[in-house]
Structure 1
Amino acid sequence: MQSRIVISAFMGVAAGATVLVAGAGAASATPSCDTRVWSDDVQGRPAGLTTYSKGGVYLWHARDGFHLRVTHRRGDKRVYAGSIVSPTRIHGVKRVRKEWRDRIWLSKDRKTLHFRFVNRGKIDGVNFRTACATSLTVTAAKGGGRTLPPKRVYLGEDRVNPASVPFTVNRQD
């Protein structure tokens, strides 16, 4: 079984890139979904992620599901927005450091998670799980009014940059 994460037009990141990720975070009746591995590229919280980290989007998977964070070093306003698409339903959506103008919403079929964070130099984000998804795709993401370059998108503990944005992350078999 495989899962993809695709990020498109995400703050300067090229569209259509595919990335393998380790450790699926799906809450379902099948326990193996939670423990099955995604590619190492996306596994684990980025080391040393703080409000002083390089500005951009951070995405990782852990035993409790997926985590997406945005930040930049200055206190000025920067808007980060995008979508994460799953072939299965997304659930367990929880905001991190909710602020007045931040928005997170699911599509009617609950397979697309949309986000818009008004970041002022701290860390904003969302945690979520999938119903045993085989992949995730991040699309239409921007930061500071422009598309992010791949060097501003960080995956997993080692902060791997995707080759382009959008990109897809797949579950390992």
Structure 2
Amino acid sequence: MEKCDEFLKLMNDLKALRIDTEGGDTTTLENLNKQFIDFKLRLNSSEEDHELHAEIDRLESMIKLYQLKIKLHQSFLGCFANMKECRDELCKLMAEPKALRIDPIGFKDKLQDLYERYKGYKLMFNSLLQEYQITYHERFQGESEFDDLEPLFQFVFDTVEKKLRKI
């Protein structure tokens, strides 16, 4: 019974980490992993309930997922932050209608630069997904705020092109 209580405490500690936790503090996970391995060794050396062994295997899988999540967190966060920065710069540019009248050529160059950066970040993000064999479920595709960026960039390019032809 004591081992069951210890196991439940370990499970609660793991649940407290949650999957959406910021990825900066790996110490908690490392300590939890050490406790888990120690607990598993002690349990394997004794004859305990088969159901508890299955639960331990499930917990071990969860720990591996958390470790992967922490490893990937910074990579994905960086890509998303960069794509969001591109989107924010585009919105800021579009909020200044004077930019179209005063310097349409400079505006187009800046827009082109933003678009190229965005495509680079998107490529980097997609390569991370492939590297770690992560796929979007088709039901979630098109729900990201970044999914609408490419058509928006294209629309702005077309608008700028038309304005430049008039000048």
Which has more strand, going by share of residues? 1
The TM-score bracket by the shorter chain reads under 0.3
TM-score, length basis structure 1: 0.18
Tell me which structure has the larger Cα radius of gyration. 2
